[in-house]
């Protein structure tokens, strides 16, 4: 076998099936035979029109498969090992952020599916420091969306200081939020789901929410204060304005943790920050070892993504379904 199938971004921004040459992995890298790859909203960073002379990028950063070949210098992994790759493709270990232990801030870190080719393919190449060991209890399809969507919400809740008894509000019951509700509940929090309308109330309660707030029915901040004030609000919706409305719902010392990637500004007064001692921050996934913690927690606590599957050849349709918001709630490409 000298070539493999991959779905790449054409110059007009569409996704097309192509043949790529199968080569040996570079030093410090491995080659992975892909079994499943999640379709994430962040793939939009790669799927856009570009000049003809720009390399045709292969999207996808929720990759689950088995190592097929080792590059020179790879010592902690073996051919046949199950491995995943997430959004951050592995730190270099020598830049200033890495030397201070900030591996997610590495200045020479590939962004899987954006700055290097990703997992909409039969094979992918990855830096060994970015590899995530997959638990045997998780199938490749089940593991794929947990490597980014799951990890993003899990690690954000941890970094926000969620503890047993915290009141945690999860805004947006979609690809990220439906996982955020599960993680928060399994961490021992009292969970409030926030969504537009009442259509997702029953599902939210099935996922583990104790309370539900319809954001179209009134003042969301007041509704959260009526429940005692949120120690943490996990904001997953891609809307700066909707996040602004959540700030008055924070308890004193509360945290608004932003994981929804929006370019819209939020508004907050200095007085609100000072008087409430509140914190507004964000979280972009984390390190590979933290992702392994996430997968172990997911297995132990039975956290699972709601998934729709599609074959690799239907990647364009799967991507469009995800971008339209019609997917319930994660699209996963399966690779034979």
Indicate whether this model's pTM tops 0.85. Answer: yes
Task: Please tell me the predicted confidence (pLDDT) of residue 262.
Answer: 85
pLDDT given for residue 204 in this prediction:
98
Q: What is the 3-state secondary structure (H, E, C) of the chain?
A: CCEEEEEEECCCCCEEEEEEECCCCCCCEEEEEEEEEEECHHHHHCCCCCCCCCCCCCCCCEEEEEEEEECCCCCCCCCCCEEEECCECCCCCCCHHHHCCCHHHCCCCCEECCCECCCCECEEEEEHHHEEECCCCCCHHHHHHHHHHHHHHHHHHHHCCCCCCCEEEEECCCCCHHHHHHHHHHCCCEEEEEECCCCCHHHHHHHCCCEEEECCCCCHHHHHHHCCCEEEEEECCCCHHHHHCCHHHEEEEEEEEECCCCCCCCCCCHHHHHHHCCEEEECCCCCHHHHHHHHHHHHHHCCCCCEEEEEHHHHHHHHHHHHHCCCCCEEEEECC
Q: What is the CA radius of gyration of the chain?
A: 20
pLDDT of residue 153: 98
Q: Are 191 and 170 in contact (CB under 8 A)?
A: yes
Q: What is d(CA 81, CA 79) in angstroms, rounded to the nearest whole number?
A: 6
pLDDT at position 336:
75
- All domains of the chain, ordered by start, with CATH? 3-147+286-334 (3.90.180.10), 161-282 (3.40.50.720)
Residue 210: its pLDDT value, please?
Answer: 98
Tens digits of pLDDT across the chain (336 residues): 799 999 999 999 999 999 999 999 999 999 999 999 999 999 999 999 999 999 999 999 999 999 999 999 999 999 999 999 999 999 999 999 999 999 999 999 999 999 999 999 999 999 999 999 999 999 999 999 999 999 999 999 999 999 999 999 999 999 999 999 999 999 999 999 999 999 999 999 999 999 999 999 999 999 999 999 999 999 999 899 999 999 999 999 999 999 998 889 999 999 999 999 999 999 999 999 999 999 999 999 999 999 999 999 999 999 999 999 999 999 999 997
């Amino acid at each position: 076998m000298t070539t493999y199938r991959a779905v790449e971004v054409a110059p007009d921004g569409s996704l097309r099936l192509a043949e790529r040459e199968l080569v040996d992995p570079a030093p410090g890298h491995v080659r992975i035979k892909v079994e499943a790859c999640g379709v994430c909203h962040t793939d939009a960073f790669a799927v856009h029109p570009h000049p003809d002379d720009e390399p045709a990028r292969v999207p996808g950063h929720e990759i689950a498969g088995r190592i097929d070949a080792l590059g020179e210098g790879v010592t902690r992994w073996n051919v046949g090992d199950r491995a995943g790759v997430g959004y951050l493709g592995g730190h270099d270990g020598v830049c200033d952020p890495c030397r201070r232990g900030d591996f997610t801030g590495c200045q020479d870190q590939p962004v899987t599916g954006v700055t290097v080719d990703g997992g909409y393919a039969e094979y992918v190449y990855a830096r060994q420091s970015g590899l995530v060991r997959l638990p045997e209890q998780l199938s490749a399809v089940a593991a794929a969306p947990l490597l980014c969507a799951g990890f993003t919400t899990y690690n954000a809740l941890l970094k926000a200081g969620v503890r047993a008894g915290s009141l945690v509000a999860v805004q947006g019951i979609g690809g990220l939020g439906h996982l955020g509700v599960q993680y928060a509940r399994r961490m021992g929090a009292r969970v409030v789901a926030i969504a537009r309308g009442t259509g997702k109330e029953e599902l939210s309660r099935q996922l583990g929410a104790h309370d539900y707030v319809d954001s179209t029915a009134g003042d969301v901040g007041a509704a959260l204060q009526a429940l005692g004030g949120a120690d943490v609000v996990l904001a997953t919706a891609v809307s700066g304005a909707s996040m602004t409305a959540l700030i008055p719902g924070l308890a004193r010392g509360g945290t608004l943790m932003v994981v929804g990637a929006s370019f819209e500004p939020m508004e907050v007064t200095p007085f609100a920050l000072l008087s409430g001692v509140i914190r507004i921050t964000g979280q972009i996934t984390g390190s590979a070892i933290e992702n392994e913690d996430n997968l172990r927690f997911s297995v132990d606590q039975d956290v699972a993504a709601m998934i729709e599957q599609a074959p690799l050849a239907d990647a364009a349709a799967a991507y469009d379904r995800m971008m339209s918001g019609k997917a319930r709630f994660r699209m996963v490409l399966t690779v034979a």
